Amino acid sequence: MVDLSLELSGIKMKNPVMVASGTFGYAKEFADLVDLNKLGAIVTKSITLKPRAGNPPPRLAEVAAGLINSIGLQNDGVDYFIHNHLPYFKTLETPLIVNIAGETVEEYVELARRLDKEVAVKGLEINISCPNVSKGGMEFGVDPKLTAEVIGVVRKATTLPLIAKLTPNVTDIRPIAQSAVEAGANILSMINTVLSSAEVTVNGKRHMLKGGLSGPAIKPIALRMIRQVREVVKVPIIGMGGIMGIEDALEFFEAGAQAIAIGTANFVDPKTAERIIEELEIRGSAP
Ligand code: RRO
């Protein structure tokens, strides 16, 4: 069988196909459906310092070729994660990347310090691009100076490989990418969701859902931005945004991504990543 293995700035992966944050829970939920040990890496839903209830419903709307979400960073906090989810990841061969999000720079630092001590954690994805919270999140990732500030302080708090997750909701993504790399990001992941809105009717009541758009609708935006960033930085790029199958995956590699992440497609077919891996193996060559 063809060897698809690679090392992304110290993260050893069997293949370049990962599952994206927020679309794969804490992996265990998918164990009956997916061979978790086949995946290149697993990225968790964003973890915050304290538990968060997330935004009130409605939180999701399916639109043409995509999905709008406004989850609002719902999670049980880092302590709960360490005690209740991390033990399961220790039973897997697949590297675990933890996505972290803070309202302040200090919160990112504290999260990095706590997770740095956990041997099962192989990398941190710094979420500076959540579109659905009033404090923190995307606020950092739309400004090159704030991007540098967050990445810089997290860099000092951990020796783990750092992945900066970039937002597409900017006029020019290149200065943000450069800033993240100069401040110490080893890898860039892109793109997070695109700011959008849709009218949703629930029990006869109309709501205006504002959130982040993902899925095939945003693939051309992701590809354009990866091409732009590839021109100005040398670090590996994890490409994501609407990858549904092997043809999409190949387009991302061609645009300059070293690895890819499957997100929204997991809601359609949780086996998407596994299928793409098998097809890359059949093609007989690493991308
Ligand atoms: O939780 C969310 O609402 C969310 C997050 Br943290 C993110 O990074 N991207 C997104 O589309 N939703």
The amino acid at 83: H
Distance CA 212, CA 253 (A): 24
Distance CA 77, CA 1 (A): 41
Catalytic residue among 130, 148, 273, 276: 130
Query: How far, in Å, from the CA of 169 to the mean position of ligand 1?
Result: 13
Query: What average pLDDT does this structure show over 167-181?
Result: 98
Condensed to tens digits (0 to 9), the pLDDT of residues 265-282 reads 999 999 999 999 999 999
Helix (H, G, I), strand (E, B) or coil at 48: coil
Condensed to tens digits (0 to 9), the pLDDT of residues 143-165 reads 999 999 999 999 999 999 999 99
Nearest CA to ligand 1 atom 7: 130
pLDDT at position 287: 66
Q: Where does the pLDDT of residue 285 fall: very low under 50, low under 70, confident under 90, or very high at 90 and above?
A: low
Q: Where does the pLDDT of residue 134 fall: very low under 50, low under 70, confident under 90, or very high at 90 and above?
A: confident
Query: What average pLDDT does this structure show over 15-31?
Result: 97
pLDDT at position 284: 78
Average pLDDT of every residue of the chain: 97
Closest ligand 1 atom to 101 CA: 6
Distance CA 104, CA 146 (A): 11
**Please, is 226 exposed, middle or buried when counting C-beta atoms within 10 Å of its C-beta (0-12, 13-18, 19+)?**
buried
Catalytic residue status for 130: yes
Ligand 1, pocket residues at CB < 6 Å: 22, 46, 69-73, 101, 127, 129-132, 192-193, 212
109 compared with 283, residue with greater pLDDT: 109
- The total number of residues shown for the chain amounts to 287
Condensed to tens digits (0 to 9), the pLDDT of residues 39-81 reads 999 999 999 999 999 999 999 999 999 999 999 999 999 999 9
Other Cβ atoms closer than 10 A to 251 = 19
Q: Is the dihedral of CA 138, 143, 144, 145 positive or negative?
A: negative
Distance CA 154, CA 149 (A): 9
Instruction: For ligand 1, pick from 49, 130, 194 the residue to mutate: most ligand atoms within 8 Å of CB.
Output: 130
Closest ligand 1 atom to 74 CA: 1
Distance CA 172, CA 77 (A): 33
In the numeric block, which tokens belong to residue 201?
A: 């009717």
Closest ligand 1 atom to 21 CA: 8
Query: How far, in Å, from the CA of 211 to the mean position of ligand 1?
Result: 8
Helix (H, G, I), strand (E, B) or coil at 176: helix
Q: Where does the pLDDT of residue 133 fall: very low under 50, low under 70, confident under 90, or very high at 90 and above?
A: confident
DSSP 100-133: E--SSHHHHHHHHHHHHT-TTEEEEEEE---SS-
Query: What average pLDDT does this structure show over 214-236?
Result: 98
Other Cβ atoms closer than 10 A to 60 = 15
61 closest CA partner among 196, 240, 203, 222: 196
Against a cut of 0.85, is the pTM above it? Answer: yes
